[in-house]
A and B are shown apart, each in its own frame.
Chain A
Amino acid sequence: MNKQLPSTCGAPEHSLNRRAFLGGVGGLAGGVAGLDALGNPLLANQLEKRHKRVILLWMAGGLSQFESWDPKPGRRTGGPFRAIQTSVPGYRMSELMPMMASRVHKSAVIRSFSSPNTGHTGASVFALMSGDRQDTGTLRTPSLGCLLGRELSQPGLPDHVSFWNATWPFSGGDKQLDFALFLGARYEAINIAGKLAPDGIQLPASLTDGDHRAREALREQLAARFQENRSGNATVASHGGSYQRVRGIMDIASLFDISREPLRIRERYGHSLFGQQALVARRLVEAGVPFVRLTDGWWDSHGENFEIHASKVPTLDRVMSALLEDLEQRGLLQDTLVVTFAEMGRTPQINAQRGRDHWGACWSVTLTGCGIKPGVIHGSTNADGTAVATDRVTAAQFFATIFQAVGIDHQKEYISADGRPIRLTPYNTEPVRAVLA
């Protein structure tokens, strides 16, 4: 079932964004290309592409589709919560999400996502995070966040920032989810767990900014001499680049300080760590950071699924709606894609401990903002939520849709470390055009 509201073209946001975009181009071009860039379609396109950002809301452990985007009230699989009418006619969501229900006409919901993965770790989740690659044999491919960080990279800014409101409970840590591989270490995530800012971005009291810059200049001078006969050495270049990126992060340290936000904005996001990290994420993408992941743990509700979701879904509802509203009001949503995703969904069957277990056959993901047609409810599941009824969407298709939405050719080819050509998504993968603007 596809439900769609009329296009929102002509909304005030668009004109506001145009102004914001023009200002952004001027600032970015820094007098080199200036507004003349817009006269060159190719360059303007490149500049526009560089302004795209993605925020991924990662429901670590696996959000239940029944208690969120695809409720089945009154069915044996439905659980205790009611469904409420949303702002999309005919589409109902869990009563736990009243705020998103009132603004879901600005998002696209895919209820027919299907993947083979039903684990938190290991090869299958590794595959999921790079779009369920079945076509590359033993060659591992980079994860979504690293690819987007690489594609949307902006000079002087971190490419990839990853927030965790709690630590990933498995050995291997974030490596279970993010891996740059042949893209290079610079596209690995800056991980910020349990707090709002990375460690060590403030200068010690004994060191002035001027002293620090002078030291950096000396280091660069010495490094340049070292590199003279090593110009083709990627390791040496990467080492030098790391210093520049650290300096870049220190220069934007204020972005991690949410006390600079008006109280009403902070209140809108709430007092949870997840909410506060979402506010930092908004500040980062506003400054141009291309990819930010917000990991909310821990949704793995094998026992007491309904208690966990009764506690956590309202917070997700509040934070997600606050983030989308904030991005929209700032004119950023048109250029920022907000994605909800997880390792898996949860079983239709309710186990003896009132839990739901791991489930990959049919669950829900969402896309909002940049490049997305608002108000589309794509695909459906059967009455008990045990199978896809219409319009199955695979991880590869989902990833292709994300790439297309932010202006990246999903069939773009990379060359791996061993010289093999690798496309962003498997050959012949098609994006879900029904949700693309």
Chain B
Amino acid sequence: MPPPNLDRVKISKTVTQPGDFLSAVREPNSERLWLGHSDSKIYSIDFAQEKPAATAVFEGHEGYVSGLGLIDNTLVSAGWDRKLIWWDLQDRRVVRTVEAHDRWIRRLAVNSTRTMIATVSDDMTCKLWDAKSGRLIRRLTGFDERVPKYDNPNKIFSLAISPDGRHVAAADDAARVVVWEAESGREAARFEAPSYLGISQGGYLSASRICCMAFSPDGKSLALAGKERAGELFVIAGPGLVQIFDWQTGRKSYEQKASGQFESIYWHPHSSWILVAPFANGPLCFLDPAKPRVMKESPATIPTYDLAVNEAGDAFYTVGSGKALKWEIPA
């Protein structure tokens, strides 16, 4: 079967819904998406339907639903209400609710064996949870409470678990990256990526930051994506920036700029491409992991907050402001 042809990427289905879809997870080997929304609800969309629609299924959060993960037949959601909630997809009921953090939970990630969940929060911690029992395994620290010099409250926007599950990485608003050993909780590495520093020269806050990250399939590299430091005011417009680091040495090996502020990233398991999607003012970009170049870009059409890719790499979904989109990459 011929491989997907990036030149033929297109939107095949669109679902509209007022407000913002902030997070998404796809059920394996299906076209069903679960989506966290700014209205505190969790929606479901089956894109296998001829005319898919968003259905509100779960209500229990009291703020943005910022992260989702699937553990077999259980959906785990994280919110700005500081909670983690386990939902039984079959019985459509709450399994457990955990007051997980002291501040807003920004991201949730699940390891490849679906045994561990990681969360990051503006309480400046990363926490590891037993995916089945909901037990807190470890609390990872290493970030300052406030951004040095400027005294603003610090934040963690990005989180990733390595494909082998051995390492967890996160980055803060001061553009510092910390990598921990999941098993021991020991800090394995730390480096800075100052191109993303979220404060402009004049002291204003800016939208510059590391928004998202992904490990390479071999786990040796870490790709960061977001918005480059630029300008004096808090502006959303680009330039977007992707940098790849050897996380053990902190050495930067790759840099690619493009329009927009990249909010989500996916590194293809065979390193065929890296897909980044913008929050604003830019296109979706397929990047060549081997060397800095844009393989293909396509208008994102919506401010995008999250994306999900299918097993074959020939379809993916972007979700964001007012819409959820299915994209196809025909051969």
Contacts and interface: CB of A to CB of B under 8 A. Distances in A.
A416 interface: no
A169 B38 CA distance: 32
Nearest to B148: A271
A310 B122 contact: yes
Interface string A335-368: 0000000000000000011110000000000000
Contacts of B64: 80
B280 A353 contact: yes
Nearest to A167: B202
Nearest to A301: B234
Contact of B81 (A82, A166, A353, A354): A82
Nearest to A276: B151
Interface stretch (A180-188, A213-221, A311-319, A391-399): A311-319
| Central interface residue in A82, A167, A169, A304, by most chain B CB within 10 Å | A304
Contacts of A169: 232-233
B234 A300 contact: yes
Given A166-B203, A272-B151, A308-B234, A352 B104 contact: no
B236 A298 contact: no
Interface size range of chain B in the complex: 35 or more
A298 B155 contact: no
A297 B122 contact: no
Given A310-B155, A353-B279, A354-B20, A272 B150 contact: yes
Nearest to A275: B151
Contacts of B194: none
Nearest to A355: B236
B149 to A, nearest CB: 8
Given A82-B81, A270-B151, A354-B20, A194 B203 contact: yes
User: In the complex, which of the residues A271, A312, A354 has the most CB atoms of chain B within 10 Å of its own CB atom?
Assistant: A354
A307 to B, nearest CB: 8
B207 A271 contact: no
B279 A82 contact: no
A26 interface: no
A160 B262 CA distance: 45
Given A80-B104, A194-B203, A298 B234 contact: yes
A315 B152 contact: yes
Contact of B38 (A80, A82, A167, A194): A80
A185 to B, nearest CB: 28
A350 to B, nearest CB: 8
A272 to B, nearest CB: 4
A311 B203 CA distance: 13
A344 to B, nearest CB: 16
B205 interface: yes
Interface string A259-298: 0000000000011110100000000000000000000011
Contact of B204 (A81, A297, A314, A355): A297
B63 interface: yes
A381 interface: no
Given A165-B203, A166-B204, A315-B151, A303 B234 contact: yes
* Dominant SS among interface residues on chain A: loop
Contacts, number: 80
A312 B19 CA distance: 24
Interface residues of A, number: 33
Contacts of B20: 354
Given A80-B38, A303-B235, A308 B205 contact: yes
B63 to A, nearest CB: 5
B236 A353 contact: yes
B322 interface: yes
A271 B202 contact: no
A259 to B, nearest CB: 18
B204 A303 contact: no
A245 B146 CA distance: 40
A366 B232 CA distance: 29
Contact of A298 (B80, B151, B233, B322): B233
A315 B205 CA distance: 12
Contacts of A165: 203
A194 B202 CA distance: 8
- Which residue of A76, A80, A312 has the most chain B CB atoms within 10 A of its CB atom? A80
A194 B205 CA distance: 14
A270 B104 CA distance: 23
Interface in A82-135: 82
B233 A80 contact: no
Nearest to A303: B236
Contacts of A82: 62-63, 81
Contacts of A80: 38, 63-64, 80, 104
Contact of B203 (A81, A273, A308): A273
Interface string B137-158: 0000000001001111101000
B162 interface: no
Nearest to B303: A352
B153 A310 contact: yes
B63 A304 contact: no
A298 B150 contact: no
A355 B233 CA distance: 14
A76 B41 CA distance: 13
Contacts of A194: 202-203
A271 B146 CA distance: 10
Interface in B287-313: 302-303
B318 interface: no
A307 B104 CA distance: 11
Contacts of A300: 233-234
A297 B202 CA distance: 10
A215 B321 CA distance: 68
Contacts of B280: 303, 353
Contact of A271 (B81, B151, B279, B322): B151
A74 B3 CA distance: 47
Contact of A311 (B19, B81, B205, B302): B205
The 4 closest A-B pairs by CB, nearest first: A303-B236, A272-B151, A271-B151, A352-B321
Interface of B: 19-20, 38-39, 62-64, 80-81, 104, 122, 146, 149-153, 155, 173, 202-205, 207, 232-236, 279-280, 302-303, 321-322
5 contacts: A82-B81, A166-B203, A298-B204, A315-B153, A352-B303
Given A194-B203, A312-B152, 13 more contacts: A82-B62, A270-B151, A271-B146, A271-B151, A272-B151, A297-B204, A298-B204, A307-B207, A308-B234, A311-B153, A311-B155, A352-B302, A355-B236
